[in-house]
Chain A
Amino acid sequence: MKVDHKHARNVSDLKLGEHAILGALRPDSLYLKLLEMGCLPGTPVCLKLPGDPLCITVGGHDLSLRVEEAQCLALVD
C-alpha cells in the first residue's frame, strides 16, 4: 500500500513558531530514545529553531535533532 505523504506531516514540516500535536512515532532505532526524551504521542510540539539540526520545544524542554530524525515524529492533523 502506498502511503500518501501529502497528508502525513511530520515535525520536519513545521514552520517556525508553529504549534502542533505529536502523532504516532515511526518505529525504528530511534523510537525508544525519542520516547524517553518525552516525544510522546499527543504531546504539543513547537518549532523553536528551523534548519538542520532543528530545535523543537516538546513537553516543556528544548530538544535538538536532525531533519531525518525529526521525520520519525509524525504530526496529528
Chain B
Amino acid sequence: MPVKSNPKIALIGNPNSGKSSLFNQLTGLHQKVGNFPGVTIEKRTGLCRLDEYITAQIIDLPGTYSLYARCAEEKTALEVLNNPSSPFFPDILVFIADAANLKRNLLLFSQVRDLGIPMVLALNMLDVARQAGISLQVERLQELLGVKVIPINARAGEGLEKLKYVLTNPVRRETEPFFDVYPLAPRALEEVKQHFALSNNYSAYQLLQQGGISEQVSADDQAWLSSVRSRHQFNSEELQAKETIGRYQHIYQILARASRQLRANRATQLLNTFDAYLTHPGWGYAIFAGLLLLLFQLVFWLGNIPLGLLDGLWSGLTTGLQTSLPQGWFNSLLTTSVLPSLGGVLLFVPHLVVFFTLMALLEESGYMTRIMLLMDKLMRRFGLNGRSALPLLSTAACSMPALLARGSCRSWRERSKQIFVAPLVNCSPRLPVYILLIGLFVPAGSWGLLSVQGLVLLAMYGFSFVAAVVSSWVLKLLVRARAEESFVMELPYFSRPYWRDIRHIVGVNLTEIGMRSLRVVLPVSAFIWLLLHLQTVVVSGGDADKAPHAGLEPGKLELKAELGEQESLAGHIGHLIAPVVKPLGFDGNIGLAVLSSFAAREAFIGSLATISSQAPEQQEKSLLARIRQLYPQNGSAIPPMVISLLVFYAFAMQYFHLAGTLLRQSPYWWAPLLQLVYMTGLAYLAAYLVNQLFS
C-alpha cells in the first residue's frame, strides 16, 4: 500500500515483551494518555517522526497473549484490529516479539497476521535469547514468516532507525494466511463474509468466535451470529483448540528451520541451579528474608550518611532567610512552613534513592517472579493467589484507580473483593512512607551490626504483608469470593538489569514523590500554618486576648505572625481531635498531622515540620531535632506512639490526591468513599490495639 504522510501505526505484542519501552523510545515525550472509547482501558498514543516528510501516530495496544479475550484489556486489541472503521484502526502494525520466547509470541503474531493488516515484526531481546542459548537466523525467519523482521533492543534504543526506515516504505500485505481457518467451518464462514461484506476469512472467523462479546456488533447481528453458529454446529471451544494446535505446528516448523538451541552458557546454567534454591520451600524463604534484611539495612546505612549534612544545610538556609528577610507573615510562612515541610521530605531523598534502586534491581532481574511462586505456596492456604503478592513487593504505583475502573462485567462478589481486598494489597507505596517515618522517629541506634531502623522497616514490611494476607483472607470468607484465577504463568529467564531501566524506575518514583510534595504537601503545610496563625477573636468582649476559649464562641478571625499554639485555630482543632486519637497514643499535634495526611501520606511530615517550627525557641534547633522533640523520648527505645503510628499507616488509605481519578473512573461513586471509611476504621482499630499492647 502507498505510504500516507501521517500513517497510524499500532504496537502489539505479549505482555513484558518490551512494548512500552519501544513506545517510549518511538514517541519520546510526545505522549497522550486517554481511554479507549466505551472501555476504561488506558490508551496511549503518541507522535513519531519517521523521516523528514512522514510523522506517524503511534498507538500502544494493550499487551495480550492471544486474540481470544479473557479480560477487558485483551478484548481491546481485537476490537480495534477487527474493525476497519475504528478511529484507531492502524495502517501498519508493529508486532514486538521477545526473541527468548519466540514460540509463544508467534502465536499472537500469527493470529494478528491473519487479520490481513500490513505488519512488520520487531524482534526484541535478542541478547537475552543468546544468553539462554537460542540462536536465531533473522533472514530465514523473515522469509518463512513472510514479513519484514527487524532486530531491535527496545530498552537501549538500538535498531529503531532501521525500524523507522522500514515503516516509511510500503509494507506488503500478506495474502496467504499463516493458518487457514476456512476448512474448519467453510459454510458458516461464507455466510458471515456475505452478511458483513468481508473478504478476510479470519476476520469472519473471529466474528463467529467472539462477535457475541464485542461491543461493536449490534444486538441483532449478535443474535444472527448465534443462529449461524448453531445452524452449522460451530463448536467454539473445539475449533479454538484446533486452531491453536494448528498454529503452533506451523510455528514449530518455522522455528526448527530458523533457530538453533545451543547449549546455554555457564552463567545461565548456574542460575538455573540457583533457581532451585530460590524457590525451595525452606531455602527460598530464608534467601528472600535475607535479601530484604540486607536491602532495608542498606537503605539506612547509606541513607543516614548524608543526613546530618543535609539537615545542617537546610536548617542553615532556613535560619539565614529568616534573619535576612523582613519580619512578617511572609517570612513566617516561608521559614516555618514551606521550607521545613519540603525539607522533611528532602532529607530522606538519599534513603529513597537507595531503596528504589535496590528494589528496581530485584524487579528487573526477574527475581520477583520467583517470589510469586514462593508466595503462592504460602498464600494459597488462605485461598489467595501468589500473584497478588506482587504489588506488595514492587515499586509499582498505587493501582487502585485502575482496579476500580475495571469493575465492569464482574459479579458483585468480585466487585466487593476489589473494593475491600484490593486496597490492602494493591496500594503499595507504603514503604517509602515507612522509610520517612522511621527515619524521623526511630532512634538511629544499632543492634550489633544491624541498624535498628532497618530492622523496624523489615518488621513493618512483614506486618503489612501479614495484615494484607490475613485481612483479605477474612474478607474472602465473608464475601465468599470465587477462587482466584489459575497460577499458570511464565517464569522468565534471569536477565541482567540495565542501568537505564533502573534509572528510569528511580526517576519516575522520585519525580512522583517530588510532585506530590509540591502539589499536596506544600499546600497542606501552608494550610496548617494558616490554622496555627489564625486567632478567633470575640467581638463582644472587647478584651479578646484574655478570653481563654475564644474559639468556642462565634467571632471573627484574625491573622497573627506570632501566636501561642493553644490560642490558635489549630490549637482548638487539636483540642477537638485529641480525645479521638488519645486511645492511639497520639496527642493533638500528631492527630492534626494525621488528619492532614489524608491528602497524601507525606503531608504528615510536612504538617509536623510546620507545627514544630512555630515556637521561637525551637527555631534554633535543626529540622530533625525539632520534629523529634514532638514526642516523648526515652533513650534509644522506640516510643509506643511511633509503633502505633506506623501500624496506622499500614492500613490508612490516604490517596486523596487520587480522588479525582478515582471518582471519575470508578463505575460507582460510593465505592471509593466506602473504601476510605472502612480502611480508616481498620487503621484506627489496629493502632488502638498496638498502643494498648505496648504502653
CA–CA, A49 and B244, complex, Å: 27
Among the interface residues B65, B104, B245, which one has the most CB atoms of the partner chain A within 10 A?
Answer: B104
What does the 1/0 interface line of B96-116 toward A look like (CB < 8 Å)?
Answer: 000011011001000000000
What does the 1/0 interface line of B136-168 toward A look like (CB < 8 Å)?
Answer: 000000000000000000000000000000000
Contact B68 A30 (CB under 8 A): no
CA–CA, A32 and B107, complex, Å: 13
**Cβ-based interface call for B248 (8 A):** yes
Question: How far, in Å, is A43 (CB) from chain B's closest CB?
Answer: 9
Tell me what chain B mostly uses at the interface: helix, strand, loop, or mixed: helix
Contact B104 A34 (CB under 8 A): no
Point out the residues of chain B lying under 8 angstroms from A52, CB to CB.
Answer: 377
**Cβ-based interface call for B66 (8 A):** yes
Given contacts A49-B279, A53-B377, contact A64 B486 (CB under 8 A): no
Question: How far, in Å, is A63 (CB) from chain B's closest CB?
Answer: 6
CA–CA, A51 and B100, complex, Å: 25
CA–CA, A30 and B492, complex, Å: 21
Given contacts A30-B488, A34-B488, A53-B386, contact A59 B103 (CB under 8 A): yes
Given contacts A51-B279, A51-B281, A66-B376, contact A37 B490 (CB under 8 A): yes
Given contacts A53-B373, A53-B386, contact A61 B488 (CB under 8 A): no
**Cβ-based interface call for B631 (8 A):** no
Q: Which residue of the partner chain A has the closest CB to B108?
A: A36
**Cβ-based interface call for B669 (8 A):** no
**Cβ-based interface call for B475 (8 A):** no
**Cβ-based interface call for B380 (8 A):** yes
Contact A63 B248 (CB under 8 A): no
Interface size on A, residues (CB 8 A): 27
Count class of interface residues, chain B = 35 or more
Question: How far, in Å, is B114 (CB) from chain A's closest CB?
Answer: 16
| CB contact list, B248-265 vs A, under 8 A | 248-249, 261
**Cβ-based interface call for B240 (8 A):** yes
Contact partner, A48, options B107, B241, B275, B492, Cβ 8 Å: B275
Contact B65 A36 (CB under 8 A): yes
Contact partner, B491, options A33, A41, A64, A69, Cβ 8 Å: A64
Contact A32 B244 (CB under 8 A): yes
Point out the residues of chain B lying under 8 angstroms from A49, CB to CB.
Answer: 275-276, 279, 373
**Cβ-based interface call for B411 (8 A):** no
CA–CA, A52 and B284, complex, Å: 13
CA–CA, A38 and B492, complex, Å: 15
Point out the residues of chain A lying under 8 angstroms from B272, CB to CB.
Answer: 48
Contact A36 B244 (CB under 8 A): yes
What does the 1/0 interface line of B225-250 toward A look like (CB < 8 Å)?
Answer: 00000000000010011001100110
Contact partner, A63, options B70, B100, B489, Cβ 8 Å: B489
Contact B487 A66 (CB under 8 A): yes
Among the interface residues A31, A41, A59, A69, which one has the most CB atoms of the partner chain B within 10 A?
Answer: A59
What does the 1/0 interface line of B52-72 toward A look like (CB < 8 Å)?
Answer: 000000000000011010100
**Cβ-based interface call for A65 (8 A):** yes
Given contacts A35-B244, A51-B279, A55-B373, contact A62 B490 (CB under 8 A): yes
Contact partner, A66, options B107, B237, B244, B486, Cβ 8 Å: B486
CA–CA, A34 and B486, complex, Å: 10
**Cβ-based interface call for A20 (8 A):** no
Question: How far, in Å, is B256 (CB) from chain A's closest CB?
Answer: 11
Q: Which residue of the partner chain B has the closest CB to A63?
A: B490
| CB contact list, A37-77 vs B, under 8 A | 37-38, 40-41, 48-49, 51-53, 55, 59-66, 69
**Cβ-based interface call for B679 (8 A):** no
Contact A65 B279 (CB under 8 A): no
**Cβ-based interface call for B22 (8 A):** no
| CB contact list, B481-496 vs A, under 8 A | 486-493
Contact B248 A38 (CB under 8 A): yes
Contact B491 A55 (CB under 8 A): yes
CA–CA, A48 and B273, complex, Å: 9
**Cβ-based interface call for B134 (8 A):** yes
CA–CA, A9 and B75, complex, Å: 36
CA–CA, A59 and B259, complex, Å: 13
What does the 1/0 interface line of A1-40 toward B look like (CB < 8 Å)?
Answer: 0000000000000000000000000010011111111101
Contact partner, B245, options A35, A37, A51, A59, Cβ 8 Å: A35
CA–CA, A4 and B276, complex, Å: 33
Contact partner, A69, options B68, B245, B486, Cβ 8 Å: B486
Point out the residues of chain B lying under 8 angstroms from A41, CB to CB.
Answer: 245
CA–CA, A49 and B488, complex, Å: 14
CA–CA, A37 and B377, complex, Å: 22
What does the 1/0 interface line of B67-81 toward A look like (CB < 8 Å)?
Answer: 010100000000000
Q: Which residue of the partner chain A has the closest CB to B238?
A: A27
Q: Which residue of the partner chain B has the closest CB to A25?
A: B241
CA–CA, A35 and B241, complex, Å: 7
Point out the residues of chain A lying under 8 angstroms from B280, CB to CB.
Answer: 51
Question: How far, in Å, is A55 (CB) from chain B's closest CB?
Answer: 6
Q: Which residue of the partner chain A has the closest CB to B275?
A: A49
Point out the residues of chain A lying under 8 angstroms from B487, CB to CB.
Answer: 53, 64-66, 69
Contact A63 B491 (CB under 8 A): yes
Contact A60 B486 (CB under 8 A): no
Contact A61 B490 (CB under 8 A): yes
Contact A36 B68 (CB under 8 A): yes
Point out the residues of chain B lying under 8 angstroms from A59, CB to CB.
Answer: 103-104
Point out the residues of chain A lying under 8 angstroms from B244, CB to CB.
Answer: 32, 35-36, 40
Point out the residues of chain B lying under 8 angstroms from A30, CB to CB.
Answer: 486, 488
CA–CA, A63 and B369, complex, Å: 11
Point out the residues of chain A lying under 8 angstroms from B276, CB to CB.
Answer: 49
Contact partner, A51, options B377, B491, B492, Cβ 8 Å: B377
- Other A-B contacts than A35-B244, A38-B248, 6 sampled, CB-CB below 8 A, are A31-B241, A32-B241, A60-B101, A61-B104, A62-B491, A63-B490
Q: Which residues of A contact B (CB under 8 A)?
A: 27, 30-38, 40-41, 48-49, 51-53, 55, 59-66, 69
What are 6 of the A-B contact pairs (CB < 8 Å)?
Answer: A32-B240, A36-B68, A53-B386, A62-B492, A64-B487, A69-B488
The 6 A-B pairs of least Cβ separation, nearest first, read A62-B491, A35-B244, A65-B488, A66-B487, A64-B491, A36-B66
Q: Which residues of B contact A (CB under 8 A)?
A: 65-66, 68, 70, 100-101, 103-104, 107, 134, 237, 240-241, 244-245, 248-249, 261, 272, 275-276, 279-281, 369, 373, 376-377, 380, 386, 486-493
